[in-house]
Amino acid sequence: MEQAYTDDATVELKKGVRVGVEVPDEGTYVAVIERIEGRVVDVELLDDVPDGALPPNRVVNVFIPRPAGLYCWLSRVIGQSRRTALSFTMIDPVRLQQRRRYERVEVDIPAVVRRVRGGRRGRAQNVRIADLSIGGLQLIGAVTLATVDTVVVDADLGHGLVSLDGQVVMSYPTSDGSRVAHVAFAADYPGIHERVAGEVSPGLSVSS
C-alpha cells in the first residue's frame, strides 16, 4: 500500500514531490517521488545519471526545499530497476538546514550562473545578485533555474572573480518575465563575510 512519510519536522514526502539526490563527489540529481513504503522510497530521475554513480549501498543525501530551509535525509541506495528509476532507504531522521539565517544586504552585482548536473556545468546565464548574506543570495534574471537545482555563481564581489556553489531553495517568476532564484551556499565563503560587513551599517549585527 502506498504511503506518505512524515517526519517529526512536519515535512511530508509523498508521490509527486520533487526532491534532490546529492551524491558525494558526483553532483546532485533531480527526481520525483513515485512510491513510498515505510522508509523505502522509489523515485523517477529527471537527470541523466552516469553509469556507476548510484550503486547499491551508496549513501546519498536526499533533500527537499521548503520556506524554512532544506530538509535533508541521509539515505542508502537499494538499486535501479532501470536507468531512470532509483530506490533508496532513509537511514536517519530529517535534519533542517535553515534558510538565510543571516542579515541580508541589498546589492546590484552582475553575475553568471550555471546549473550543475552530474558534475557537469551547463550553459552560462547572465543574472544580477539582488541581495547577499553569509548563507546565500538572491538572483534575478531571465533564467531557467528550478527549485533543488545545484548551481555555481561567478561574480566579482569587490576583490576579484569568485565562484560560489549552492542549491536553489526557491524559484518563481516575476510579472516582468524575469525569474527570482534564492540560492543557499554549499560552503562558507570568507570573502562574503567581508562584503556583507562592509554593506551593513555600523552597530548592526550581521548574524540574526
What letters, b where the CB count within 10 A reaches 16 and e where it falls short, cover 55-87? eeeeebbbbbbbeebbbbbebebbebeeeeebb
Nearest Cα to 115, choosing from 81, 149, 147? 149
Residue type, 123: R
Q: What are the DSSP calls for the chain, one per residue?
A: ----EE-TTS-EE-TT-EEEEEETTTEEEEEEEEEEETTEEEEEE-SPPPTTSS-TT-EEEEEEEETTEEEEEEEEEEEEEETTEEEEEE-S--EEEES--B--EEEEEEEEEEEEETTEE---EEEEEEEE-SSEEEEEES----TT-EEEEEEE-SSSEEEEEEEEEEEEE-TTS-EEEEEEESS--HHHHHHHHHHSPTT--SB-
pLDDT tens, residue order, the chain (208 aa):
345 444 544 567 789 988 888 887 777 788 999 999 999 999 999 888 888 889 999 999 898 877 666 788 899 999 998 889 999 999 988 887 665 556 778 889 999 999 987 778 889 999 999 998 888 899 999 888 887 788 999 999 887 899 999 888 878 888 788 888 989 888 888 777 776 665 543 333 333 2
pTM of the model: 0.60
- Report pLDDT for 36: 93
Residue 29 near residue 47, CB atoms below 8 Å: yes
